[in-house]
């Protein structure tokens, strides 16, 4: 049995190594974001984690806060910055989630943590995805990501939570590296980000 505390130790060790190895990149990205986002480095949002506990998720900020004449945010496609587009395509915007891993909110591998507004829309079966810590990448991410439906994603998440193992995590890790290098399944068409879950899709 792949104990969660062993998974936690591995998460911390690997996350620290990634921080050390990518430190020069993190510094460069931070400088560029200060320029493009007027000093705003991070996107912060409450997400649902292990056993439905809420936490603050961190990402590098990839979009501006530009609004229309009514004060409503412009579509994602109009707000994304050049550096933001690059970070999304390479998943570099996810690196600040190493902070979430080190403080215990997340794992390297697990179901993606989703916004709080979705919590009341899940079926009892779909809520099983919260039986493990959410991850930066997961079984659903390497099997379609934004190119599959929410129901398919949740089914993959639940399957992972019920079959979690060291070998499965290693498999997901290598599949993630391959997909990042290939830059596949990042976005569907020209639309930035995934469609909102409405309880049916």
Within-domain flag for 196: no
What mean pLDDT is predicted for residues 176-186?
74
**113 in a structural domain:** yes
**Residue 109 domain flag:** yes
Q: How many domains does the chain have?
A: 1
pLDDT of 35 higher than 90: no
Alpha carbons 95 and 54: distance in angstroms, whole number: 20
Which pLDDT band holds residue 55 (cuts at 50, 70, 90)? very high
Q: What is the mean pLDDT of residues 23-34?
A: 89
User: What percent of the chain lies above the pLDDT cut of 70?
Assistant: 93
Of residues 193 and 63, more confidently modeled: 63
pLDDT of residue 189: 45
Q: Greater confidence, 2 or 123?
A: 123
CA distance 151 to 170: 25
Quick one: three-class SS letters along the chain? CCCHHHHHHHHHHHHHHHHHHCHHHHHHHHHHHHHHCCCCCEEEEEEECHHHCEEEEEEECCECCCECCCCCECCHHHHECHHHHHHHHHCHHHCCHHHHHHCCCCEEECCCCCEHHHHHHCCCCHHHHHHCCCEEECCCHHHCHHHCCHHHHHHHHHHHHHHCCHHHHHHHHHHHHHHHHHCCCCCCCCCCCCCCCCCCC
Chain-centroid distance, C-alpha 32: 21
Residue at 195 is within a domain: no
pLDDT score for 77: 85
At residue 1, does pLDDT exceed 60? no
Max mean pLDDT among 84-93, 114-123, 172-181 falls in 114-123
| Domain contains 172 | yes
Residue 136 lies in a domain: yes
Quote the domain boundaries for residue 105.
4-182
Res. 62: pLDDT tops 70: yes
**197 domain residue, yes or no:** no
Comparing 20-34, 82-96, 153-167, 187-201, the range with the smallest average pLDDT is 187-201
Residue 28 lies in a domain: yes
């Amino acid at each position: 049995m792949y104990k969660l505390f062993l998974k936690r130790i591995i998460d911390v060790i690997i996350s620290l190594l990634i921080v050390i190895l990518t430190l020069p990149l993190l510094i460069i990205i931070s400088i560029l974001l200060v320029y493009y986002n007027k000093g705003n480095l991070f996107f912060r949002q409450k997400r649902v984690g292990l056993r439905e506990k809420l936490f603050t998720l961190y990402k590098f900020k990839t979009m501006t806060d530009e609004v229309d004449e009514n004060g409503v945010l412009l579509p994602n496609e109009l707000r994304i910055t050049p550096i933001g587009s690059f970070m999304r395509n390479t998943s570099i915007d996810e690196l600040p989630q190493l902070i979430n891993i080190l403080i215990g909110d997340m794992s390297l591998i697990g179901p993606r943590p989703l916004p709080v507004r979705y919590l009341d829309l899940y079926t009892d079966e779909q809520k099983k995805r919260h039986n493990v810590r959410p991850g930066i990448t997961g079984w659903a991410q390497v099997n379609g990501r934004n190119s599959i439906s929410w129901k398919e994603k949740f089914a993959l998440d639940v399957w992972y939570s019920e079959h979690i193992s060291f070998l499965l995590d290693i498999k997901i890790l290598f599949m993630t590296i391959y997909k990042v290098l290939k830059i596949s399944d990042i976005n569907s068409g020209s639309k930035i980000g995934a469609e909102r879950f409405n309880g049916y899709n």
